[in-house]
């Protein structure tokens, strides 16, 4: 059904919201105040024609915008987009009735995302390599990506050739490409294990193109160079497809906030530590106990710690903090703590931290809603929120990072 709507607001997911008599309809690629004809299906709308454009609308930076599903908000003026993204954090925390100081958003520049997860599929016309259309399985073949670092986008042609060699059939698969200090680290999933002939072809291609590593279905096919990511001054051999902060700049901004808050800490815990993005910066000044459930990430951290001179003691513990959080008695041996959980947050762990005597807490999250819940738990346990800093490391998307710094009240 085609209807004419006026966009009343911007939704938390980055879609324009139209208020109709029978409920809200979410329309991608629209802005508040715009009038549009849409094809409606339940509470979703597809933009068919823009009747009245907002004065806030700008020309998108990428030719693939609206086709490719990677970005949602390239068409919005930067200052308004950034204010909206800061507002996502403000609304989530205010909704919990928290007392906090929200600082200005730290913005994200184009061409800084160091990892891209491409969708790929071999066809009779060649290899499709790009991203899925918004809310679709259709792969949009791309020739540019304005959010990703040039180290990746300058190699799209080579990556397309590599994907053709990797593909064992015409089924879609994922190609995760990470820019490291040693070159591109490439992990293919869903492509099937290569046979002997494909292995030989992949090996020859990899050596010619100078890529650092290729893994297929978790198996290393070739690793001419160890893929290295620098966390502070420490080089870590990251596992294939392992978690990284989206941009170096955002990681450095978060680390600076953590280090400033924990400046007087002697012994700290780094929970959900990954491969050590915060660990190694902290270990320049304090002893650090790291806890992580991902064995490969923890092994990479441990190897780097053991092979780097001049650090304070770094200990490692593999533990699922969702099922078995560190208890308050275990936490009381630390005077500082940082936790950076997945989007689900750290509810069980936050309950134990709230009962502890840890003086300084740095809470990092990519989900304002679960961050607000965890901060509410901590404040009920006697913590005071000193600062909250929103960080945009997911440019032109609806996702926003935030760092909350807390002190145990007296």
What gap in Å lies between CA 274 and CA 259, rounded to an integer? 17
Number of domains within the chain: 3
Strands (E), 243-355: 267-271, 287-292, 314-318, 336-339
> Binding site for S-adenosyl-L-methionine, residues?
245, 272, 292, 340
Q: 334 and 364 share a domain?
A: yes
Q: 29 and 96 share a domain?
A: no
Pairing of strands 183-189, 287-292: unpaired
pLDDT in tens, 197-250: 999 999 999 999 999 999 999 999 999 999 999 999 999 999 998 899 999 999
Q: What is the pLDDT of residue 199?
A: 94
Q: 119 and 206 share a domain?
A: yes
> Binding site, residues?
245, 272, 292, 340
Do 104 and 97 touch, CB atoms closer than 8 A?
Answer: no
Does residue 237 fall inside a structural domain? no
Q: 218 and 249 share a domain?
A: no
Q: What is the pLDDT of residue 298?
A: 97
Domain boundary among 16, 41, 57: 57
Active-site residue among 62, 191, 273, 366? 366
Instruction: State the chain's mean pLDDT as an integer.
Output: 96
- Tokens 């992990």 correspond to what residue? 187
pLDDT in tens, 92-102: 999 999 999 99
What number of other Cβ atoms are within 10 A of residue 277's Cβ?
25
Q: 331 and 382 share a domain?
A: yes
Model confidence band, residue 410 (pLDDT cutoffs 50, 70, 90): low
Q: What is the pLDDT of residue 134?
A: 85
Q: 99 and 140 share a domain?
A: no
Q: Which domain holds residue 41?
A: 2-57
Residue 216 designated active-site:
no
Do 212 and 224 touch, CB atoms closer than 8 A?
Answer: yes
pLDDT of 135 > 90? The answer is no
Does residue 70 fall inside a structural domain? no
Q: What is the pLDDT of residue 1?
A: 77
| CATH code of residue 19 | 2.40.50.140
Query: What are phi and psi for residue 23, nearest 5 degrees?
Result: 130, 180
What number of other Cβ atoms are within 10 A of residue 396's Cβ?
24
| CATH code of residue 93 | 3.40.50.150
Q: 103 and 39 share a domain?
A: no
pLDDT in tens, 56-111: 999 999 999 999 988 999 999 999 999 999 999 999 999 999 999 999 999 999 99
């Amino acid at each position: 059904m085609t209807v004419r709507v006026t966009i009343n607001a911007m939704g938390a997911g980055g879609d324009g919201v139209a208020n109709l008599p029978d409920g809200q309809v979410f329309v991608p690629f629209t802005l508040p105040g715009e009038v549009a004809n849409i094809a409606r299906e339940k509470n979703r709308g597809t933009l068919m024609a823009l009747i009245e454009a907002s004065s806030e609308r700008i020309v998108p930076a990428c030719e693939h915008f609206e086709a490719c599903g990677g970005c949602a908000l390239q068409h919005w003026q930067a200052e308004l987009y950034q204010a909206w993204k800061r507002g996502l954090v403000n609304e989530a925390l205010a909704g919990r009735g928290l007392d906090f100081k929200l600082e200005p958003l730290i913005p994200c520049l184009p061409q800084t995302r160091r990892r891209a997860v491409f969708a790929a599929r071999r066809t009779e016309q060649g290899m499709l390599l790009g991203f899925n259309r918004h809310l679709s399985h259709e792969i949009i073949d791309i020739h540019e990506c304005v959010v990703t670092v040039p180290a990746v986008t300058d190699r799209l042609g080579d990556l397309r050739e590599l994907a053709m060699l990797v593909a064992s059939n015409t089924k879609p698969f994922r190609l995760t490409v990470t820019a490291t200090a040693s070159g591109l680290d490439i992990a293919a999933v869903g492509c099937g294990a290569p046979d002997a002939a494909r292995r030989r072809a992949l090996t020859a291609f990899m050596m010619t193109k100078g890529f650092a590593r290729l893994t297929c279905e978790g198996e290393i096919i070739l690793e001419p160079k160890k893929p290295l990511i620098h966390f502070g001054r420490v080089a870590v051999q990251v596992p294939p497809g392992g978690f990284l902060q989206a941009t170096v700049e955002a990681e450095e901004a978060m680390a600076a906030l953590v280090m400033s808050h924990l400046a007087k800490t002697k012994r700290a815990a780094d929970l959900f530590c990954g491969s050590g993005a915060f660990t190694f910066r902290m270990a320049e000044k304090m002893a650090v106990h790291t806890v992580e459930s991902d064995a490969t990430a923890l092994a990479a951290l441990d190897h780097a710690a053991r092979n780097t001179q001049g650090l304070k003691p770094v200990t490692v513990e593999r533990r699922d903090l969702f099922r078995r959080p560190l208890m308050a008695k275990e936490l009381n041996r630390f005077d500082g703590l940082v936790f950076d959980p997945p989007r689900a947050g750290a509810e069980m762990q936050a309950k134990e931290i709230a009962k502890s005597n840890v003086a300084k807490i740095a809470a990092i999250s990519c989900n304002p809603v679960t961050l607000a819940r965890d901060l509410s738990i901590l404040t009920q346990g006697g913590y005071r929120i000193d600062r909250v800093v929103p960080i945009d490391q997911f440019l032109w998307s609806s996702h926003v990072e935030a760092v909350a710094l807390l002190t145990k009240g007296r």
